[in-house]
Amino acid sequence: MNTRTIEKMATVSFLMVALAPVGHLLAQAGTFPAEILAYPDIILHNGQLLTADDDFTIAEAVALRGNVFMAVGSNTEVLRLAGPQTQRIDLRGRSVVPGLIDTHLHQAWVVQLAKRGGSGRTSFEDTASGLSEVSEIISKAKPGEWLYMGGPDNKALITDLTLEQLDSVSPANPVVITTTNNLGFVNSLALKSIDLDIGGVEKDPGTGRPTGIVSGFALGTLTYERMPIPPQAEGALELQQEVFRKLNSQGLTTIIGRAQGTSISVLKELWAQGKLTARVRVCHEFVRQNAQAESYLKRIGNLSGFGDDWMKIIGTTVQPVDGTSGAGAILTAMPKQREIPDSPFGKFGQNKYENYGSTLEKSEYHNIILANRYGWNIACLHSQGDGAADMLLKAFAEANQEKPLQGTWAFDHALSRTPENIAKAKELGVIFSVAPKYLFIDSPTRLVFQFGEGVHRMTPVRDMIQAGMKPVMEADISGKYSAPLWNMAALITRTDEQGKIWGNAQGITRQEALWMKTNWAASYGGDEKILGTITPGKLADLVVLGGDYMKVPEDQIAELSIDLTIVDGTIVYDREKEGEVHLDYWDR
């Protein structure tokens, strides 16, 4: 019997006790064997317990026993449960909130299958300089070696470069140049390794010959299947632990994100060793850009929900419809007022399901329907624009017509959403995860350039809540902006780093912001019965803030310190003992 099994048995015993009301327990103590009964391990008292339950109940104290909340109530009610070994923590009026959950933070996984620019980066300011950069990288490679380079989302690479030009400098090496927005420019040697009718191979309309542009299934095959996978990076387990420690110091206790095989292997190893300090919820990328999705689904079977309280597969994910707003690739139903001059994506933005050689039958649209057919749900999916939301909701609705949607169906970022998007999502039970970074990090200069006053209608969280949705909140970025309190404050105040307010009418309350990071967020991972609120019987994840969350001025919420983070009843971060946690990988 392994350690994890023994811990599970102990948890069940504690849970039996914790689920019973304390008064009833005391009255019936004689009916239980003495070894089952136990005092609390930790009591936090004399504070402001924001339970984040549906009624937003506020208490003074909480008792933790094992890995669950044992009791919540007044100081008198909870302190009387203390035993001789119970650790008592005087909160001195500070706020306690449930463990904070990030619903889209794949940046937290330290290993990636295909880091853009793995062989080098190209700026491609123009064709000549770009080809010179490629030649320099190739000169250091062995003949036949696959080369994966990063490139910009600009016209010089995506519309001006020709296949013949790239072939002329890469006669002996397959070359794949990928951009931020899941486009690739590849040479003929790389194209020879794939089926040109796979979906996502752009062809000249006149000659029918490939242009060198690939996306969708074609790019997925080249990056997930053709690129040699390097051995697991040395020190990856230790670095992953350090990243979790950093996130714990920001108050994060559950991390959700899409992940591919190599990242999952590292996370799984930490889970197997019992070294996770944050809960992990993964949307597996195995059908993302996968032209053989149905074969994989048949072979793998339905693993949605497979795992335990620490690590769990919560669904799968596909390539998104659109790209990023900064590159002009956000897909919208209405044309942009102005196009970014160097952007190749046009007035409406990027449509990865229908542009660059794809068809709906040979794109992620079909994979969404296949996933549902075989029992998987779709989540952790990038979607910035309302045009992208339209297409995804159409696919979700088609899947639902064939077989009712089960589990969490969600897509993320939610920069631009129309009332029609919101109404359809509410009807289907789809969750929107909101990323404040797209609107509030720096002044959104490029957004204003493209959309003018329409920027004030972006990130419409108030509209979502008024429509009866329960949106959740993500960071989708490393560094200081991954801090939950920063993201919460941004949606409350609607204020960017320069102090400018964007769409004040879409501001939310402190209670709603906390729900988005706790109670409502738990549903994204299918954890609403065990996480998200400080409720007896639920898993003991909580955060002690360095002040009063409900009374501190709104523009100072982000400045509240994280004093203590507890996951599964264990202290994983103590600011008084450890100080601030700095990590180069994360903080740069």
Q: How would you label 131-141 residue by residue, b for 16+ Cβ within 10 Å and e otherwise?
A: bebbeebbeeb
Q: How many domains does the chain have?
A: 2
Tokens of 85: 């070994």
Count Cβ atoms within 10 A of the Cβ of residue 170 and give its class: 0-12 exposed, 13-18 middle, 19 or more buried: buried
Residue 235 is predicted with a pLDDT of 86
Q: What is the CATH number of the domain that holds 468?
A: 3.20.20.140
If asked whether residues 171 and 243 sit together in one domain, one would say: no
Q: Sheet containing 184-186: which strands, arranged edge to edge?
A: 120-121, 147-150, 175-178, 184-186, 210-214, 201-203
Collect all residues with Cβ–Cβ distance below 8 Å to 48 and sequence separation of at least 6: 58, 60, 91, 93, 94, 95, 96, 548, 549, 550
Confidence of residue 449 (pLDDT cuts 50, 70, 90): very high
Identify which of 358, 366, 322 has the alpha carbon closest to the alpha carbon of residue 200: 358
Helical segments of 177-253, H only: 188-191, 216-220, 236-249
If asked whether residues 328 and 449 sit together in one domain, one would say: yes
445 lies in some domain: yes
Of 226, 252, 275, the residue at which a domain comes to its end is 226
Confidence of residue 136 (pLDDT cuts 50, 70, 90): very high
Tokens of 340: 């970014």
**Residue 528 CB-half CA count within 13 A:** 14
490 lies in some domain: yes
**What CA–CA distance (Å, rounded) separates 545 from 246?**
16
Collect all residues with Cβ–Cβ distance below 8 Å to 545 and sequence separation of at least 6: 94, 95, 96, 97, 251, 485, 560, 561, 562, 563
State residue 189 phi and psi, 5-degree precision: -65, -40
**What CA–CA distance (Å, rounded) separates 347 from 337?**
8
If asked whether residues 166 and 304 sit together in one domain, one would say: no
557 lies in some domain: yes
If asked whether residues 501 and 373 sit together in one domain, one would say: yes
Is the distance from CB of 189 to CB of 144 less than 8 angstroms? no
| CA 515 from centroid of its chain's CA atoms | 17
488 lies in some domain: yes
If asked whether residues 214 and 270 sit together in one domain, one would say: no
If asked whether residues 131 and 247 sit together in one domain, one would say: no
pLDDT in tens, 44-79: 999 999 999 999 999 999 999 999 999 999 999 999
Q: Show the domain range for 471.
A: 102-109+235-526+533-587
Residue 228 is predicted with a pLDDT of 74
580 lies in some domain: yes
* pLDDT at 13 exceeding the cut of 70: no
Please indicate whether residue 445 or residue 330 has the higher confidence score (pLDDT). Answer: 330
* pLDDT at 115 exceeding the cut of 70: no
Beta bridge partners of 101: 254
Q: Sign of the CA dihedral 448, 451, 456, 462?
A: negative
pLDDT in tens, 291-335: 999 999 999 999 999 999 999 999 999 999 999 999 999 999 999
61 lies in some domain: no
36 lies in some domain: no
Of 226, 248, 271, the residue at which a domain comes to its end is 226
If asked whether residues 277 and 179 sit together in one domain, one would say: no
* pLDDT at 398 exceeding the cut of 70: yes
If asked whether residues 210 and 264 sit together in one domain, one would say: no
Of 226, 255, 283, the residue at which a domain comes to its end is 226
If asked whether residues 468 and 431 sit together in one domain, one would say: yes
If asked whether residues 468 and 485 sit together in one domain, one would say: yes
pTM, full prediction = 0.92
If asked whether residues 310 and 435 sit together in one domain, one would say: yes
50 lies in some domain: no
If asked whether residues 222 and 263 sit together in one domain, one would say: no
* pLDDT at 487 exceeding the cut of 70: yes
**Residue 244 CB-half CA count within 13 A:** 25
The predicted model gives 114-124 an average pLDDT of 76
* pLDDT at 438 exceeding the cut of 90: yes
